[in-house]
Chains A and B, each alone.
Chain A
Amino acid sequence: MSVLKFFTRRSSAPAARERLQLLLAHERAVFGRTDLVAQLKDEILAVIAKHIAIDPEKVRIKTDTRDTLATLEVDIEIRTPNGGLKLAG
Protein backbone atom coordinates (compact mmCIF):
# COMPACT_ATOMS: atom_id res chain seq x y z
CA MET A 1 0.00 0.00 0.00
CA SER A 2 1.47 3.34 -0.99
CA VAL A 3 1.82 6.12 1.54
CA LEU A 4 -0.68 8.21 -0.39
CA LYS A 5 -3.21 5.38 -0.43
CA PHE A 6 -2.69 4.94 3.30
CA PHE A 7 -3.60 8.53 4.03
CA THR A 8 -6.54 8.70 1.65
CA ARG A 9 -8.02 5.34 2.71
CA ARG A 10 -11.76 5.72 3.04
CA SER A 11 -13.63 3.82 5.68
CA SER A 12 -16.41 1.54 4.47
CA ALA A 13 -18.79 1.60 7.44
CA PRO A 14 -20.44 4.95 6.51
CA ALA A 15 -21.29 3.48 3.10
CA ALA A 16 -22.86 0.43 4.78
CA ARG A 17 -24.89 2.66 7.03
CA GLU A 18 -26.13 4.86 4.21
CA ARG A 19 -27.05 1.93 1.96
CA LEU A 20 -28.95 0.24 4.77
CA GLN A 21 -30.91 3.34 5.73
CA LEU A 22 -32.04 3.85 2.17
CA LEU A 23 -32.88 0.20 1.53
CA LEU A 24 -34.77 -0.30 4.78
CA ALA A 25 -36.82 2.86 4.36
CA HIS A 26 -38.05 1.32 1.13
CA GLU A 27 -38.48 -2.23 2.42
CA ARG A 28 -40.38 -1.15 5.51
CA ALA A 29 -42.86 0.64 3.27
CA VAL A 30 -43.26 -2.49 1.13
CA PHE A 31 -43.50 -4.94 4.03
CA GLY A 32 -45.78 -2.79 6.10
CA ARG A 33 -43.52 -1.44 8.81
CA THR A 34 -44.56 2.17 8.46
CA ASP A 35 -41.67 4.47 8.18
CA LEU A 36 -41.62 8.22 8.25
CA VAL A 37 -38.74 8.56 5.81
CA ALA A 38 -40.41 6.47 3.12
CA GLN A 39 -43.66 8.35 3.59
CA LEU A 40 -41.92 11.73 3.45
CA LYS A 41 -40.06 10.66 0.33
CA ASP A 42 -43.26 9.72 -1.46
CA GLU A 43 -45.10 12.87 -0.47
CA ILE A 44 -42.21 15.23 -1.27
CA LEU A 45 -41.75 13.57 -4.64
CA ALA A 46 -45.46 13.80 -5.39
CA VAL A 47 -45.45 17.53 -4.74
CA ILE A 48 -42.35 18.14 -6.86
CA ALA A 49 -43.55 15.85 -9.65
CA LYS A 50 -46.62 18.05 -10.02
CA HIS A 51 -44.41 20.84 -11.30
CA ILE A 52 -41.20 19.28 -12.57
CA ALA A 53 -40.59 16.06 -14.48
CA ILE A 54 -38.34 13.91 -12.28
CA ASP A 55 -36.80 10.49 -12.63
CA PRO A 56 -37.54 8.45 -9.46
CA GLU A 57 -34.22 6.62 -9.98
CA LYS A 58 -32.34 9.91 -9.60
CA VAL A 59 -33.54 10.67 -6.10
CA ARG A 60 -31.40 10.22 -3.02
CA ILE A 61 -32.74 10.45 0.50
CA LYS A 62 -30.42 10.57 3.46
CA THR A 63 -31.16 10.86 7.14
CA ASP A 64 -28.74 11.59 9.90
CA THR A 65 -29.09 11.88 13.63
CA ARG A 66 -26.58 13.65 15.82
CA ASP A 67 -27.44 14.03 19.50
CA THR A 68 -30.58 16.16 19.40
CA LEU A 69 -30.48 17.12 15.72
CA ALA A 70 -31.99 14.96 12.99
CA THR A 71 -31.58 15.93 9.35
CA LEU A 72 -33.37 14.81 6.24
CA GLU A 73 -31.51 15.38 3.01
CA VAL A 74 -33.35 15.04 -0.27
CA ASP A 75 -31.26 15.08 -3.43
CA ILE A 76 -33.24 15.25 -6.67
CA GLU A 77 -31.52 15.27 -10.00
CA ILE A 78 -33.42 17.26 -12.60
CA ARG A 79 -32.38 16.71 -16.16
CA THR A 80 -33.54 18.93 -18.92
CA PRO A 81 -32.43 18.76 -22.55
CA ASN A 82 -31.52 22.44 -22.78
CA GLY A 83 -30.01 22.89 -19.37
CA GLY A 84 -32.68 25.06 -17.76
CA LEU A 85 -35.53 24.17 -15.44
CA LYS A 86 -38.52 23.10 -17.39
CA LEU A 87 -41.72 23.64 -15.51
CA ALA A 88 -44.59 21.35 -16.28
CA GLY A 89 -47.99 22.74 -17.18
Chain B
Amino acid sequence: MAEVLVVTSGKGGVGKTTSTAALGAALAQTGQSVVVIDFDVGLRNLDLVMGAERRVVYDLINVVQGDANLNQALIKDKRVESLSLLPASQTRDKDALTAEGVERVINELKGKFDWIICDSPAGIERGAYFAMRHADLAVIVTNPEVSSVRDSDRIIGLLDSKTEKAERGETMEKLLLLTRYDPVRAERGDMLKVDDVLEILSIPLLGIIPESPEVLKASNLGSPVTLANPISAPSRAYLDAARRLRGETIEMTVPSEKKRFFGNLFGRRAA
Protein backbone atom coordinates (compact mmCIF):
# COMPACT_ATOMS: atom_id res chain seq x y z
CA MET B 1 0.00 0.00 0.00
CA ALA B 2 1.38 3.38 -1.02
CA GLU B 3 2.10 5.96 1.65
CA VAL B 4 1.37 9.58 0.83
CA LEU B 5 3.73 11.85 2.73
CA VAL B 6 3.67 15.66 2.74
CA VAL B 7 6.80 17.65 3.52
CA THR B 8 5.61 20.96 4.88
CA SER B 9 6.59 23.81 7.20
CA GLY B 10 4.59 26.98 6.70
CA LYS B 11 7.71 29.10 6.61
CA GLY B 12 9.85 29.29 3.48
CA GLY B 13 13.55 28.59 3.30
CA VAL B 14 13.70 26.05 6.12
CA GLY B 15 14.60 23.09 3.89
CA LYS B 16 11.39 21.52 2.55
CA THR B 17 12.66 20.97 -0.97
CA THR B 18 16.11 19.85 0.22
CA SER B 19 14.44 17.43 2.65
CA THR B 20 11.98 16.14 0.05
CA ALA B 21 14.86 15.34 -2.32
CA ALA B 22 17.02 13.84 0.42
CA LEU B 23 14.28 11.71 2.02
CA GLY B 24 12.96 10.64 -1.38
CA ALA B 25 16.41 9.57 -2.53
CA ALA B 26 17.16 7.92 0.84
CA LEU B 27 13.96 5.84 0.67
CA ALA B 28 14.74 4.90 -2.93
CA GLN B 29 18.28 3.93 -1.86
CA THR B 30 16.69 1.36 0.47
CA GLY B 31 14.93 -0.17 -2.54
CA GLN B 32 11.52 1.47 -2.21
CA SER B 33 9.90 2.98 -5.27
CA VAL B 34 9.42 6.69 -4.69
CA VAL B 35 7.92 9.64 -6.52
CA VAL B 36 8.56 13.19 -5.34
CA ILE B 37 5.99 15.78 -6.45
CA ASP B 38 6.60 19.53 -6.57
CA PHE B 39 3.44 21.43 -5.55
CA ASP B 40 5.08 24.84 -5.80
CA VAL B 41 3.35 25.86 -9.01
CA GLY B 42 4.97 28.93 -10.55
CA LEU B 43 8.09 28.67 -8.37
CA ARG B 44 9.24 25.13 -8.96
CA ASN B 45 12.64 24.16 -7.60
CA LEU B 46 12.55 20.46 -6.81
CA ASP B 47 13.62 19.77 -10.42
CA LEU B 48 16.71 21.94 -9.91
CA VAL B 49 17.66 20.41 -6.56
CA MET B 50 17.27 16.94 -8.12
CA GLY B 51 19.33 17.94 -11.18
CA ALA B 52 16.48 17.26 -13.61
CA GLU B 53 15.73 20.85 -14.69
CA ARG B 54 16.69 20.22 -18.31
CA ARG B 55 14.57 17.10 -18.58
CA VAL B 56 11.19 18.65 -17.76
CA VAL B 57 8.76 18.30 -20.66
CA TYR B 58 5.34 17.90 -19.03
CA ASP B 59 4.41 18.80 -15.46
CA LEU B 60 1.84 18.29 -12.72
CA ILE B 61 -0.53 20.89 -14.20
CA ASN B 62 -0.45 19.18 -17.61
CA VAL B 63 -1.41 15.89 -15.94
CA VAL B 64 -4.05 17.49 -13.70
CA GLN B 65 -5.66 19.13 -16.74
CA GLY B 66 -5.41 16.01 -18.87
CA ASP B 67 -2.96 17.44 -21.43
CA ALA B 68 -0.41 14.72 -20.72
CA ASN B 69 -0.47 11.35 -19.01
CA LEU B 70 1.57 10.45 -15.95
CA ASN B 71 4.17 8.41 -17.81
CA GLN B 72 4.92 11.38 -20.05
CA ALA B 73 5.37 13.72 -17.10
CA LEU B 74 7.30 11.48 -14.68
CA ILE B 75 11.08 11.94 -14.82
CA LYS B 76 13.10 8.90 -13.78
CA ASP B 77 16.21 9.69 -11.76
CA LYS B 78 19.44 8.79 -13.54
CA ARG B 79 21.24 7.74 -10.34
CA VAL B 80 18.61 5.72 -8.48
CA GLU B 81 16.32 3.69 -10.66
CA SER B 82 13.37 3.54 -8.27
CA LEU B 83 13.19 7.33 -7.83
CA SER B 84 10.96 9.55 -9.99
CA LEU B 85 10.05 13.23 -10.07
CA LEU B 86 6.78 14.89 -11.01
CA PRO B 87 7.72 18.55 -11.54
CA ALA B 88 5.50 21.59 -11.01
CA SER B 89 4.69 24.01 -13.78
CA GLN B 90 6.87 27.09 -13.96
CA THR B 91 4.61 29.16 -16.19
CA ARG B 92 1.14 28.57 -14.78
CA ASP B 93 -0.14 29.84 -11.46
CA LYS B 94 -1.42 27.81 -8.55
CA ASP B 95 -5.08 28.33 -9.52
CA ALA B 96 -4.49 25.78 -12.28
CA LEU B 97 -4.57 23.03 -9.62
CA THR B 98 -8.00 21.53 -9.10
CA ALA B 99 -9.20 19.32 -6.26
CA GLU B 100 -10.45 16.56 -8.60
CA GLY B 101 -7.33 16.69 -10.76
CA VAL B 102 -4.92 16.41 -7.83
CA GLU B 103 -6.94 13.56 -6.32
CA ARG B 104 -6.91 11.66 -9.60
CA VAL B 105 -3.13 12.07 -9.97
CA ILE B 106 -2.46 10.94 -6.39
CA ASN B 107 -4.72 7.90 -6.82
CA GLU B 108 -3.00 6.95 -10.05
CA LEU B 109 0.44 7.30 -8.43
CA LYS B 110 -0.65 5.05 -5.56
CA GLY B 111 -0.76 2.17 -8.00
CA LYS B 112 2.81 2.77 -9.18
CA PHE B 113 4.87 3.70 -6.12
CA ASP B 114 5.53 2.73 -2.49
CA TRP B 115 5.99 6.37 -1.46
CA ILE B 116 4.41 9.53 -2.80
CA ILE B 117 6.24 12.52 -1.32
CA CYS B 118 4.54 15.88 -1.79
CA ASP B 119 6.83 18.91 -1.53
CA SER B 120 4.61 21.69 -0.21
CA PRO B 121 5.14 25.34 -1.12
CA ALA B 122 5.64 27.81 1.72
CA GLY B 123 2.61 29.57 3.10
CA ILE B 124 -0.87 28.26 3.81
CA GLU B 125 -2.55 28.89 0.47
CA ARG B 126 -3.84 26.72 -2.35
CA GLY B 127 -0.63 24.88 -3.24
CA ALA B 128 0.12 24.03 0.38
CA TYR B 129 -3.47 22.91 0.89
CA PHE B 130 -3.38 20.53 -2.10
CA ALA B 131 0.02 19.17 -1.06
CA MET B 132 -1.30 18.15 2.38
CA ARG B 133 -4.85 17.27 1.34
CA HIS B 134 -4.37 13.55 0.62
CA ALA B 135 -1.48 12.83 2.96
CA ASP B 136 -1.30 9.82 5.28
CA LEU B 137 1.50 11.37 7.25
CA ALA B 138 3.28 14.71 7.44
CA VAL B 139 6.90 15.64 7.94
CA ILE B 140 7.12 19.11 9.48
CA VAL B 141 10.45 20.72 8.57
CA THR B 142 11.44 23.18 11.29
CA ASN B 143 14.53 25.28 12.03
CA PRO B 144 15.40 25.89 15.70
CA GLU B 145 14.26 29.49 15.36
CA VAL B 146 11.16 31.31 16.66
CA SER B 147 9.42 32.18 13.38
CA SER B 148 9.89 28.68 11.96
CA VAL B 149 8.53 27.04 15.13
CA ARG B 150 5.53 29.36 15.17
CA ASP B 151 4.69 28.63 11.53
CA SER B 152 5.12 24.89 12.10
CA ASP B 153 2.60 25.10 14.92
CA ARG B 154 0.14 26.77 12.58
CA ILE B 155 0.67 24.09 9.93
CA ILE B 156 0.10 21.37 12.53
CA GLY B 157 -3.28 22.98 13.23
CA LEU B 158 -4.15 22.91 9.51
CA LEU B 159 -3.04 19.27 9.14
CA ASP B 160 -5.45 18.45 11.96
CA SER B 161 -8.36 20.21 10.32
CA LYS B 162 -8.04 20.68 6.56
CA THR B 163 -6.87 17.26 5.35
CA GLU B 164 -8.98 14.35 4.12
CA LYS B 165 -7.76 12.27 7.02
CA ALA B 166 -8.82 14.92 9.56
CA GLU B 167 -12.20 15.28 7.89
CA ARG B 168 -12.73 11.51 8.22
CA GLY B 169 -12.14 11.96 11.95
CA GLU B 170 -8.76 10.21 11.86
CA THR B 171 -5.55 11.58 13.33
CA MET B 172 -2.86 12.72 10.93
CA GLU B 173 0.53 11.36 11.92
CA LYS B 174 2.93 14.30 12.17
CA LEU B 175 6.70 13.97 12.52
CA LEU B 176 9.23 16.69 13.24
CA LEU B 177 12.34 17.04 11.09
CA LEU B 178 14.60 19.58 12.76
CA THR B 179 16.93 21.05 10.14
CA ARG B 180 19.96 23.38 10.27
CA TYR B 181 20.60 22.34 13.86
CA ASP B 182 23.86 23.41 15.44
CA PRO B 183 24.54 21.40 18.63
CA VAL B 184 27.35 23.75 19.70
CA ARG B 185 25.18 26.87 19.56
CA ALA B 186 22.30 25.03 21.23
CA GLU B 187 24.60 23.92 24.05
CA ARG B 188 25.82 27.50 24.44
CA GLY B 189 22.23 28.60 24.91
CA ASP B 190 22.01 30.63 21.73
CA MET B 191 19.77 28.26 19.79
CA LEU B 192 16.60 26.42 20.79
CA LYS B 193 17.46 22.87 21.78
CA VAL B 194 15.86 19.77 20.30
CA ASP B 195 13.89 19.25 23.52
CA ASP B 196 12.62 22.85 23.51
CA VAL B 197 11.18 22.47 20.01
CA LEU B 198 9.76 19.04 20.81
CA GLU B 199 8.09 20.31 23.95
CA ILE B 200 6.59 23.32 22.20
CA LEU B 201 5.29 21.47 19.14
CA SER B 202 4.63 18.17 20.95
CA ILE B 203 4.99 15.88 17.94
CA PRO B 204 7.40 12.93 17.62
CA LEU B 205 10.87 13.47 16.20
CA LEU B 206 11.79 11.97 12.82
CA GLY B 207 15.34 13.27 12.70
CA ILE B 208 17.81 16.04 13.42
CA ILE B 209 19.68 17.36 10.38
CA PRO B 210 22.83 19.23 11.38
CA GLU B 211 23.71 22.53 9.72
CA SER B 212 26.29 21.62 7.09
CA PRO B 213 27.96 23.08 3.99
CA GLU B 214 27.35 19.70 2.31
CA VAL B 215 23.69 20.62 1.76
CA LEU B 216 24.55 23.67 -0.37
CA LYS B 217 27.27 21.75 -2.22
CA ALA B 218 24.76 19.04 -3.13
CA SER B 219 22.20 21.55 -4.42
CA ASN B 220 24.95 23.28 -6.43
CA LEU B 221 25.48 19.94 -8.14
CA GLY B 222 21.78 19.17 -8.55
CA SER B 223 21.88 16.09 -6.38
CA PRO B 224 20.00 15.06 -3.24
CA VAL B 225 22.59 15.28 -0.46
CA THR B 226 22.20 11.57 0.33
CA LEU B 227 23.41 10.78 -3.20
CA ALA B 228 26.01 13.56 -3.53
CA ASN B 229 27.84 12.61 -0.34
CA PRO B 230 26.21 9.68 1.48
CA ILE B 231 28.72 9.67 4.34
CA SER B 232 28.36 13.37 5.21
CA ALA B 233 26.64 14.27 8.48
CA PRO B 234 23.36 15.56 6.97
CA SER B 235 23.17 12.52 4.68
CA ARG B 236 23.54 10.10 7.56
CA ALA B 237 20.80 12.00 9.39
CA TYR B 238 18.48 11.82 6.36
CA LEU B 239 19.26 8.13 5.77
CA ASP B 240 18.41 7.39 9.43
CA ALA B 241 15.19 9.39 9.10
CA ALA B 242 14.23 7.39 6.00
CA ARG B 243 14.77 4.14 7.88
CA ARG B 244 12.59 5.44 10.72
CA LEU B 245 9.88 6.19 8.15
CA ARG B 246 10.08 2.53 7.18
CA GLY B 247 9.40 1.56 10.78
CA GLU B 248 12.91 0.80 11.96
CA THR B 249 13.95 1.88 15.44
CA ILE B 250 17.20 3.81 15.25
CA GLU B 251 18.83 5.69 18.07
CA MET B 252 18.41 9.46 17.67
CA THR B 253 21.74 11.24 17.26
CA VAL B 254 23.01 14.45 15.70
CA PRO B 255 25.61 13.15 13.24
CA SER B 256 28.80 15.20 12.96
CA GLU B 257 31.44 15.32 10.25
CA LYS B 258 34.23 12.84 10.75
CA LYS B 259 37.61 14.49 10.96
CA ARG B 260 39.52 13.50 7.85
CA PHE B 261 42.67 15.58 7.91
CA PHE B 262 44.41 14.05 4.93
CA GLY B 263 41.17 13.57 3.12
CA ASN B 264 40.40 17.25 3.48
CA LEU B 265 43.91 18.34 2.64
CA PHE B 266 44.30 16.41 -0.55
CA GLY B 267 40.84 15.38 -1.53
CA ARG B 268 39.21 18.78 -1.62
CA ARG B 269 37.45 19.69 -4.81
CA ALA B 270 35.38 22.70 -5.74
CA ALA B 271 31.75 21.67 -5.98
Cα A44 to Cα B117 in complex, Å, equals: 44
Given contacts A32-B157, A32-B161, A33-B160, contact A23 B150 (CB under 8 A): yes
Q: How far is the CB of B199 from chain A (nearest CB, A)?
A: 6
State whether B156 touches A33 (Cβ < 8 A). yes
Complex interface: chain B residues within 8 A of A28 (CB): 153, 157
User: Size of chain B's interface in residues, with CB distance under 8 A?
Assistant: 20
In the complex, what residue of chain A is closest to B195 when comparing beta carbons?
A: A65
Stretch at the interface among A11-19, A46-54, A72-80: A11-19
Contact across chains for B190 and A11 when beta carbons are under 8 A apart? yes
Contact A33 B157 (CB under 8 A): yes
Contact of B189 among A13, A23, A65 (CB under 8 A): A13
Contact B157 A17 (CB under 8 A): no
Distance in angstroms between the alpha carbons of A17 and B194 in the assembled complex: 11
A24 to B153, CA, bound (A): 8
B149 contact set on A, CB distance < 8 A: 20
Output the nearest chain A residue to B193 by Cβ-Cβ distance: A13
| Bound complex: CA A65 to CA B199 (Å) | 8
Contact B153 A27 (CB under 8 A): yes
Closest residue on chain A to residue B153 by CB atoms: A24
Q: How many residues of A contact B (CB 8 A)?
A: 17
The CA-CA distance from A32 to B157 in the complex, in Å, is 7
C-alpha gap A11/B149 in the complex (Å): 19
Shortest distance between the CB of A18 and any CB in chain B (Å): 10
Q: What separation, in Å, do the CA atoms of A17 and B200 have in the docked complex?
A: 8
Indicate with 1 or 0, residue by residue over B107-133, a CB within 8 angstroms of chain A CB atoms.
Answer: 000000000000000000000000000
Beyond A27-B150, A28-B157, is A17–B190 a contact (Cβ under 8 Å)?
no
The listed residue (B153, B154, B188, B196) touching A17 by CB distance below 8 A is B196
A residues near B192, Cβ cutoff 8 Å: 13, 16-17
Q: Which residues of B contact A7 (CB under 8 A)?
A: none
- B residues adjacent to A (C-beta < 8 A): 145-146, 149-150, 153-154, 156-157, 160-161, 186, 188-193, 196, 199-200
**8 residue pairs bridging A and B, Cβ less than 8 Å apart:** A12-B189, A13-B190, A13-B196, A16-B146, A16-B192, A20-B146, A24-B153, A27-B153
Name A's B-contacting residues (CB within 8 A): 11-14, 16-17, 19-21, 23-24, 27-28, 31-33, 65
